[in-house]
Amino acid sequence: MTSDTVQSNITESALTKSSFRYSLYICYFIVGLSHSMPLLPAKKLLMDTYKVSPSSMAAIFGLLSSPWLAKPLFALSIDAVAINQERRRPYIILAFLVNFFIFSALARIAENTSIMIIISFMFITSATIVLIDVAVNSIVIVNAKLETVASSGKLQSSCWIFKALGAMIGSGSSGYALAYLEHPLEILLTAIAAFSLSGALTSYFIKEIDSDSPEVDIINRVRLLITYLRRQDILSTILFVILMNCPPTVGDAFLYWMRYQLGFGMDVVGNLHFCRHFAHLVSAYFFRICLRQIPVRRLIALSLVVSSVLGLSTIIVVLRWNKGLGIPDSLFIFADTVALAIFRELILMPIIVLSSRIVPDGSEGPVYAMIMSFWNLGRVISEETGAGLIFVFGVTSDNYDRLWLVVLICNMILLAPILFLNMLPDVPVEASQKGESTELVPDTFKSTISMNTDSFVSHDADARPLIHRVNSSTTE
C-alpha cells in the first residue's frame, strides 16, 4: 500500500469517524431489537395456541439459540472469504437484507401457517442475527485493541449500551402490542423488517480496513484456531466462562408461574423484559464511566455474590411471604429483576473487555466469537440442567410446591465459580495506570496493524497505547 493511499484512507476515515461509530451503534441497536421483539409473541403463541409444556418450550428455544453456539464457524467463514477486499461489512449488509425479506414474509403468514414454518423462519433469522453480531463484533474488536489504557472498554461498552437499548425497546413494544393492538404479530414483524432494511443501508458507513491478504482456506484457519486454543490465557478464559454460566436456572418455569399462578398478562411480562434490558443499559453505562478500571476478578466476584443473594429473594415471592410484608407481587418481582439484571450484566462486561484484549491480531473475529460461543454454551447447559431440576422436583404448569427449592439450589450453585476466579488471566490494570508497560498479547501473536486504523479510535494524548504495535515509533 503506497503512502498516498494510506494518507487517502486516513483522510477518509477522519471525515467519516462519527458516521463509523454511529453506524456501529445502529447495528447493535437493531441486533438487540431483532433478538428481543419476536420473543414474547413466539412464547405466547406456543403457550396459548399450542399448549406446550415448559420443557417443550425450552427445547424449541434451545434450537433457536443453537446458531449462537456456532459463532466461531461464522467468524471463520467470513474471515476466510473477502468480498471486494472486505471481510465483514458485505456480510452485515447481506444478513440484514435476508432478515428484511424473512420478517416481511412472516408478517403476512405468521397467523395463518404451521408452527414448523414459523420455527424454521425464526431459525434462519437467528442465524443471520448471529452473522451480523459476529461481523460487527470483529470490527469493534480490531478498533478496541487500539484503545489506550485510559479509554479501555469505552467503544465496546458504548456498543453494548445501544444493543441493550434496542433490546429494551423491542421487548417493551412487543408487550404493549400484544396487550393493546389488533394483529400484533403483523405489526411487530413488519417493524423488524423495516429496521433490518435501515440496518443494511446504515452499514454502508461502516469503514473496514481493506484486506490485502489472500483468501485463506478454512481448514488452515481451523488449525490456527486450535493453535490459539493452546494458549493458556485463552484456554483458561474459556473454561472459566463455561463454569460461570453452567449453574442451573429456573428459566421459563418462572414465566409459567407468573402467568398461571400470579395472573400476569403479556403486557406485564413485556414490561418486565423492558425493565431487565433497561437494567442492562444502566449497568453498561456505569461500567463505562466508573467500573472499567476495577480488576476483573474483583468485579466478577462481587457481582456473583450479590447476584446469588438477590436471587434468593425470589423465594420470598414464590412462597408469598411478600404478602405478609405488604409488598405487591409485581413491585417485588420488578425490583428483584432490575437488581439481578444489573449485577449479572456486570459479570458479562469484564469478560467482554478481557476477551478483546487477549485475542491475537489478525484473528480477532474467530477467537472472540469462540470465547463468546462458549459463553452461550454455558447458558444452554444452565437452561438444560435447570429443566432437569424442575423435572426432578416435580414442578409443572399445575404444581409449583417445590419451585422455591429449585430457586434455592440454583442460587447456591451460582457461587461456585468464585472458586475458579484464578483461572482468569491476570490483567495488570493497576500497573497500566502507573504508566508501566502493558503487554497483553505475546510477541509471537503480534502483527503489524495498518496505519489507517488509528483514526477509528480517538487516543488520549497523554495515554500510552493499550496494545503495543510492531514497528511503532513510540519510545519506551
**pLDDT tens digits along 240-290:** 888 888 888 877 778 888 888 888 887 888 888 888 878 877 887 788 787
pLDDT tens column, 303-345:
888 888 888 888 888 888 888 888 888 888 888 888 888 887 7
Fold of 18-207: Growth Hormone; Chain: A; (1.20.1250)
Note the pLDDT tens digit of each residue in 390-430.
888 888 777 888 888 988 998 888 888 888 888 888 654 43
Q: How many other CB atoms are found less than 10 A from the CB of residue 247?
A: 22
Q: What is the pLDDT of residue 464?
A: 29
Residues 6+ apart with CB under 8 A from 387: 54, 55, 58, 251, 253
Q: What is the pLDDT of residue 2?
A: 45
Element (H, E) at 330: helix 329-358
Do residues 340 and 306 make contact, with C-beta atoms less than 8 angstroms apart?
A: no
Q: What secondary structure does DSSP assign to 419-473, as a single string?
A: GGGGGS----HHHHHTT-----S-GGG-----GGGGGGSPPPTTS-BSSPPTT--
C-alpha distance across the termini of the chain, in Å: 28
Residues of the chain with CATH 1.20.1250.20: 18-207, 216-433
Percent of all residues in the chain with a pLDDT value above 70, rounded to a whole number = 80
**Main-chain phi, psi angles of 207, to 5 degrees:** -90, 125
Residue 17 has pLDDT above 80, yes or no: no
Q: Which residues pair with 83 in a beta bridge?
A: 86
For 22, the grid coordinates are: 454511529
Q: What CATH number does the domain located at 216-433 have? A: 1.20.1250.20
Q: Which of 142, 71, 144, 131 is nearest to 371 (CA)?
A: 71
